[in-house]
Amino acid sequence: MTQPFRLGAGGLIDRSRTLHFTFDGKPYTGHPGDTLASALLAHGTRLFGRSFKYHRPRGVLTAGSEEPNALVTLRSGARAEPNTRATTAELFDGLEASSQNRWPSLKFDLMAVNQLASPLFVAGFYYKTFMWPAKAWEKLYEPLIRRAAGLGALSGLEDPDTYEHDHAFCDLLVVGAGPAGLTAALDAARSGLSVVLADEAPLAGGLLLAEQVSIGGQSGADWAAATLAELASYPSLRILPRTTVFGRFDDGEHGAIERVADHLPIPLPGQPRQRLWKIVARRTILATGATERPIVFDGNDRPGVMLASAVSTYLNRYGVAPGHRAVVFTACDSGWQTAADLLATGVALAAVIDARGQAPASLIAPIRAAGVPVLLGGQVVAAKGSPLRAVIARDASGAEQRFAADLLAVAGGWNPQVALAAHLGHRPDWREGIAAYALGEGPGDLAAVGAADGVYGLAGALASGRAAAQAATQALGQSAALPPLPLAEDAPHAVSPVWASGPCRGKAFVDFQHDVTASDVTLAVQEGFTSVEHLKRYTTLGMATDQGRVGQVNGHGLLAAATGRTLAETGTIRARPPVVPVAIGAFGGHHRGRHFRPTRHTASHGWAAERGAVFVDVGQWKRAQWYPQPGETHWRQSVDREVNATRNGVGLCDVSTLGKIELIGPDVGTLLDRLYINLFSTLTVGKARYGLMLREDGIAMDDGTVTRFAPNRWFMTTTTANAARVMQHIDFARQVLWPYLDVQAASVTEQWATFSIAGPKARDLLRAALPEVDVSNEALPYMGATTLHWRGYAARLYRLSFSGELAYEISVPAAQGDALVRHLFAVGAPFGLTPYGTEALGVMRIEKGHPAGNELNGWTTAADLGLGRMASKKKDFIGRVMAQRPAMVDPARPRLVGLVPVDGVSAIRAGGHLLAPGAAPVAASDEGYVSSACYSPTLGHPIALAMLARGAGRHGETIIVHDPVRGGDVLARVVDPVFFDPAGERLRG
Amino acid sequence: MRIPCPFCGSRDSREFVTRGDAAPTRPDSEEGMFAYVYLRDNPAGALEEWWYHAQGCRQWLRVSRNTRTHQVSGAILACKGGAA
């Protein structure tokens, strides 16, 4: 297989090895060191894709990550990755690539018909079209647009690769390993700073690899490699190749994406595909270089029109001629270097057209001497042919000339890449001398060097890298004696601002990726979108994956001309992160699937899983919801059985997930008095008390039980959901509000495993399980507590009941929880001990009218929940004052009630709203809502808890439970919320 | 964003929970309670605010931050004199 455009020699490629790859199913060859673009260009491939809006045939424009045209889908199957730039995709053996945005084929794309309708598709067309008739939007327009829109397609399959997150901390972050960056990094390392050096390319050197220059007597590429090797010898220096710093954030934080395995067919075993870095740097140096900009003229997007520095890169770095016969069109000195490179590699040079009236004689002379026509003060009027066949130009006198060419190298000048500085608000300013935007007064901890600061000469770049490193070193209090810089020369590098050329009547592109033309800019100005930010959004110029790195400044230039302003007055847009697209998978890291967030297991989890428990997520916890027995096919069977077994025998439930806080000190009682609505300082040792705490605005926040084990040793429980919030609340109270109180608090939620043992046979079971403990009613009355030892471990036993049955809670250190639950079930067999889950737990507390999370919903006060009388009048507490506001004590407020279906069988569902019978089902009739509902096996019918306006005085009334979402209104009777054993006799025996 | 915790050093802000303006002081009586619960100045510029090192030392910090520049200039422990 021949590569007709591969040069006979040269390039940083390994010609001794051949790689095989395919593009749109056709086989090709290349070499290690090639990119997909360089290898395809070596074969003479011109067509790489179709443009976004107009489906124009497109070829390679650049040689870097700013490429707007040659976007392909790399790989196939689950690893298929759309919108990959062929110019940076490193070639590997077996690479598969396919072109995008074309049907049925790249060469013959039916969607190219869009071009005929192009007058309809001008900037902002979507604000003016597809509006009539309104009904047509959903069924006709949107599906059509959805099919036509977008660029590239995702595989839709699960990503088989893994992604890592990592952190780095350094004195100095150097972004870019070109000549300026390498110099800065080396000087900093020599001065004893810790340095991170990141470059998006696999090899250091930046544009040195694209040019024929020498540094200190070596070729640029050799000098870069040698400098990198020297840098690697410093242990405090981390080199990150293939790494793009994509964002700069507060406090020295930078985001960077390391493409660990993008250049391999698949990652090595154990290797992540990419690594997302958070780099915290005390100082940052931007050595990100400058990107070349094009010139706007008719047909400037034709395959074969390429940026001049890209042409030089393909010639020098990849040993590829992007064409047989070239024209160079330049507005700056650097374009002449490309002309020289073309001559040196034997590509026919048809003409050099310089838009400026003059250029350095040293650059012109060798070109003229080779017999190449030179047009100073000339213009390119149009590029013809797809792919390129001819260039129409005008000389300084206005006479038209036609040059046959298949390659047009365009050099419109250079844009320093200082987007990272803009992320924290430092927009670049217009610098007249370099006809570009560059960093003005930057932040103190960031400096731009080399081409990124508009210093385009090589010697100047080295010097500016040194100066910035010196400044950073001094600022950080270090210093070192440094050897002299290697010898280098500044080539001529003057630039003139030439934004457009020729009439720009037809398709003269400003933003290639979004198909924004010069006439779109004119249209935007006509419609009043004259600020750079408005121009960007209205035309979508600069909003594609290249983020305007190629064409944005040309757009500014056209805008300035159209509005009669200078570039300085026009300004530039504020760049935002990320500088390049970053895969969502990289941001996710390992937080996928099971690892999206932590899973918390209680001590009995393994045991419960053995018993076949069905688990439910409660926050991050897994809690057993019910324990199905063989033969049970519906969850109601299991839950009803568990409730009955507990109320008639004895049941066990793992309640370890509730928050637990240990409180120690002489002032704990005082603190608790201020946090809870009821008194706690009066609680005696060996007793527990239920409490409710409010938010500062008077709304109920959380409830729980506090136990006093010793005069200065207390223990608090919270609901599962509020464990962290209450801990934070306690810490705020004792550290900020009342720091003079002598109180220590520690979260011990995970330290204890706690089981609830409930039912008439609970005491019998405990006597058998804990024979040394006196569990008589006298020794351990209701709301009493004691400490004990179980198998030598400190344990606690409480007489508490959430179910309304005779009940206890036993706590052991979490590591003993599994052993305890197995012990209890071994001992419990004769008593018919039954495990019950959160559903049965919920049924029993609803039967007893206990408020829980559904009622502590952020709207309810203590009085709403029927707990108003709990509030002590003898002391102040958080929320007391605000709970007394008129709207908070209004008797018309929703109040906790019970509901039963009038027909005795209809299920009442939580979320239903309460209406008076006959009232219209509108918001104005709303009298409340159902907060909790279940079937009560104890009573034999459905029940519910609800918040009903003026509910306390409405027991006996009928009310409609209206459920428009799920359908089926239910007629219900309002009753006392305590459905079962209202006197509480079962718990006190 | 990084918070300079006096115990733990400069830490990622993700370890913390923010509560807001530290200027209001909790009144002992009804007078001023509404303003304490609901009213905040929202200054453009220097702000002292409460941050809780939830995933670290669990201390409340009084952090000095500029709401315009996002610069965090310091933090003191609430319990060591930072409390209002």
For A781-820, what is each residue's pLDDT tens digit?
999 999 999 999 999 999 999 999 999 999 999 999 999 9
Q: Report the C-alpha dihedral over residues A31, A36, A39, A44, rounded to 10 degrees.
A: 170
- Rounded CA gap, A319 and A296, in Å? 28
- Rounded CA gap, A140 and A146, in Å? 10
Take residue A422 and report the two structure tokens written for it: 């803009």
Q: Which residue of A has its CA nearest to B24?
A: A737
Among left, alpha and beta (phi > 0; psi -120 to 50; other), residue A94 is left
Take residue A289 and report the two structure tokens written for it: 């270089």
Question: Do B1 and A253 lie within an 8 Å CB cutoff?
Answer: yes
Interface check for A732 against chain B (CB to CB < 8 A): the answer is yes
Question: Do you find a cis peptide bond into A711, omega within 30 degrees of 0?
Answer: no
Which of B29, B58, B83 lies nearest to residue A736, judging by beta carbons?
Answer: B83
Enumerate the residues of chain A whose CB falls inside 8 A of the CB of residue B83: 735-737, 739
* Residue A437: closest CA among A418, A458, A465, A462: A418
Question: Do B37 and A728 lie within an 8 Å CB cutoff?
Answer: no
Enumerate the residues of chain A whose CB falls inside 8 A of the CB of residue B60: 731-732, 735-736
pLDDT in tens, A199-231: 999 999 999 999 989 999 999 999 999 999 999
Mean pLDDT of chain A: 95
Enumerate the residues of chain A whose CB falls inside 8 A of the CB of residue B73: none
* Residue A876: closest CA among A865, A867, A884, A864: A884
Task: Supply the pLDDT for residue A108.
Answer: 77
Question: Do A881 and B30 lie within an 8 Å CB cutoff?
Answer: yes
- Give the pLDDT mean for A486-506: 93
pLDDT in tens, A367-397: 999 999 999 999 999 999 999 999 999 999 9
Question: Do B84 and A736 lie within an 8 Å CB cutoff?
Answer: yes
3-state secondary structure of A672: helix
CA distance A325 to chain B (A): 54
Task: Tell me the C-alpha to C-alpha distance, in Å, between residue A474 and each of A282, A483, A500.
Answer: 12, 17, 45
CA distance B60 to chain A (A): 7
Pairing relationship of beta strands A407-411 and A325-330 according to DSSP bridges: parallel
DSSP labels, A354-393: ESSS---HHHHHHHHHTT--EEET-EEEEEETTTT-EEEE
Interface check for A725 against chain B (CB to CB < 8 A): the answer is no
- Give the pLDDT mean for A905-930: 96
pLDDT in tens, A647-705: 999 999 999 999 999 999 999 999 999 999 999 999 999 999 999 999 999 999 999 99
Which of B38, B60, B84 lies nearest to residue A731, judging by beta carbons?
Answer: B60
Q: Which residue of A has its CA nearest to B29?
A: A881
Sheet with strand A834-835: strands edge to edge: A785-790, A793-798, A807-813, A752-758, A651-654, A834-835
Question: Do A735 and B60 lie within an 8 Å CB cutoff?
Answer: yes
Task: Supply the pLDDT for residue A1.
Answer: 66
- Does position A706 have pLDDT exceeding 70, yes or no? yes
pLDDT in tens, A851-862: 999 999 999 999
User: Which residue type sits at B38?
Assistant: Y
Q: Containing H/E element for A962?
A: strand A958-962
- Rounded CA gap, A792 and A904, in Å? 52
Residue B83 — very low, low, confident or very high, per pLDDT cuts 50/70/90? Answer: low
Do residues A412 and A390 touch, judged by C-beta distance below 8 A? no
Ranges assigned E (strand) in A504-553:
509-511, 516-517
pLDDT in tens, A258-268: 999 999 999 99
- Give the pLDDT mean for A763-780: 96
Chain A interface, best mutation among B2, B16, B40, B57, by max A CB count within 10 A: B2
CA distance A249 to chain B (A): 7
Which of A253, A728, A876 lies nearest to residue B52, judging by beta carbons?
Answer: A728
Do residues A741 and A817 touch, judged by C-beta distance below 8 A? no
Question: Do B52 and A278 lie within an 8 Å CB cutoff?
Answer: no
Please write down the long-range contacts of A236-239, taking CB distance under 8 Å and 24 or more positions apart. Answer: A236/A189, A236/A192, A236/A193, A236/A194, A236/A195, A237/A185, A237/A189, A237/A194, A237/A195, A237/A196, A237/A197, A238/A168, A238/A170, A238/A195, A238/A196, A238/A197, A239/A177, A239/A197, A239/A204
The set of residues, in sequence order, having a beta carbon less than 8 Å from that of A826 and lying 6+ positions away, is none
Enumerate the residues of chain A whose CB falls inside 8 A of the CB of residue B28: 876
State what percent of residues in chain A have pLDDT above 90: 90
User: Which residue type sits at A940?
Assistant: G
CA distance B5 to chain A (A): 14
3-state secondary structure of A794: strand
Question: Do B60 and A732 lie within an 8 Å CB cutoff?
Answer: yes
Question: Do A737 and B83 lie within an 8 Å CB cutoff?
Answer: yes
Task: Tell me the C-alpha to C-alpha distance, in Å, between residue A851 and each of A538, A909, A948, A954.
Answer: 54, 17, 14, 19
Interface check for A697 against chain B (CB to CB < 8 A): the answer is yes
Question: Do B2 and A736 lie within an 8 Å CB cutoff?
Answer: no
Which of A251, A736, A882 lies nearest to residue B2, judging by beta carbons?
Answer: A251
Residue listed under structure tokens 């940083």:
A12
Using CB atoms and an 8 Å cut-off, which of residues 271-290 of chain A contact chain B? Answer: 278, 280
- Give the pLDDT mean for A754-780: 96
CA distance B17 to chain A (A): 9
Enumerate the residues of chain A whose CB falls inside 8 A of the CB of residue B29: 881
Q: Containing H/E element for A915?
A: strand A913-915
- Domains of chain A plus CATH, in order, are 1-155 (3.10.20.440), 163-290+416-475 (3.50.50.60), 294-412 (3.50.50.60), 658-748 (3.30.70.1400), 889-988 (2.40.30.110)
Enumerate the residues of chain A whose CB falls inside 8 A of the CB of residue B36: 696
Q: What is the 8-class DSSP label of residue A621? A: E
Q: Which residue of B has its CA nearest to A734?
A: B79
Q: Which residues of B touch A (CB under 8 A)?
A: 1-2, 10, 12, 17, 19, 26, 28-30, 33-34, 36-38, 50, 52, 54, 58-60, 70-72, 77-79, 83-84
- Rounded CA gap, A692 and A703, in Å? 4
Chain A interface, best mutation among B26, B64, B66, by max A CB count within 10 A: B26
CA distance B55 to chain A (A): 11
Enumerate the residues of chain A whose CB falls inside 8 A of the CB of residue B84: 736
CA distance B25 to chain A (A): 8
Question: Do B78 and A251 lie within an 8 Å CB cutoff?
Answer: no
Interface check for A735 against chain B (CB to CB < 8 A): the answer is yes
Which of A250, A724, A882 lies nearest to residue B1, judging by beta carbons?
Answer: A250
Enumerate the residues of chain A whose CB falls inside 8 A of the CB of residue B34: 882
Which of A739, A876, A881 lies nearest to residue B79, judging by beta carbons?
Answer: A739
Q: Which residue of B has its CA nearest to A740?
A: B79
Question: Do B2 and A249 lie within an 8 Å CB cutoff?
Answer: no
Interface check for A169 against chain B (CB to CB < 8 A): the answer is no
Q: Which range (A131-145, A334-348, A791-805) has the least confidence? A: A131-145
CA max distance for chain B: 39
Phi first, then psi, for residue A855 (nearest 5°) are: -90, -30
- Does position A143 have pLDDT exceeding 90, yes or no? no
Do residues A469 and A172 touch, judged by C-beta distance below 8 A? yes
- Number of residue pairs across A and B with CB atoms under 8 Å? 58
Chain B interface, best mutation among A661, A881, A882, A888, by max B CB count within 10 A: A881
Q: Does A968 or A466 have the greater pLDDT score?
A: A466
pLDDT in tens, B36-70: 999 999 999 999 999 999 999 999 999 999 999 88
Residue A605 — very low, low, confident or very high, per pLDDT cuts 50/70/90? Answer: very high
Task: Tell me the C-alpha to C-alpha distance, in Å, between residue A814 and each of A552, A611, A820, A894.
Answer: 62, 20, 10, 41
Enumerate the residues of chain A whose CB falls inside 8 A of the CB of residue B19: 732
Question: Do B2 and A250 lie within an 8 Å CB cutoff?
Answer: yes
- Does position A9 have pLDDT exceeding 60, yes or no? yes
Residue A444 — very low, low, confident or very high, per pLDDT cuts 50/70/90? Answer: confident
Which of B10, B36, B59 lies nearest to residue A735, judging by beta carbons?
Answer: B59
- Rounded CA gap, A347 and A41, in Å? 14
Q: Containing H/E element for A701?
A: strand A700-710
Domain residue limits, chain B = 2-24+37-80
CATH of domain B2-24+37-80: 3.30.2270.10
- Does position A775 have pLDDT exceeding 70, yes or no? yes
Take residue A965 and report the two structure tokens written for it: 């979402």
- Rounded CA gap, A829 and A823, in Å? 10
Residue listed under structure tokens 């124009």:
A56
Enumerate the residues of chain B whose CB falls inside 8 A of the CB of residue A251: 1-2, 10, 70, 72
Do residues A478 and A314 touch, judged by C-beta distance below 8 A? no
Task: Supply the pLDDT for residue A375.
Answer: 97
The half-sphere exposure of A131 on its side-chain side, counting CA atoms within 13 A, is: 5
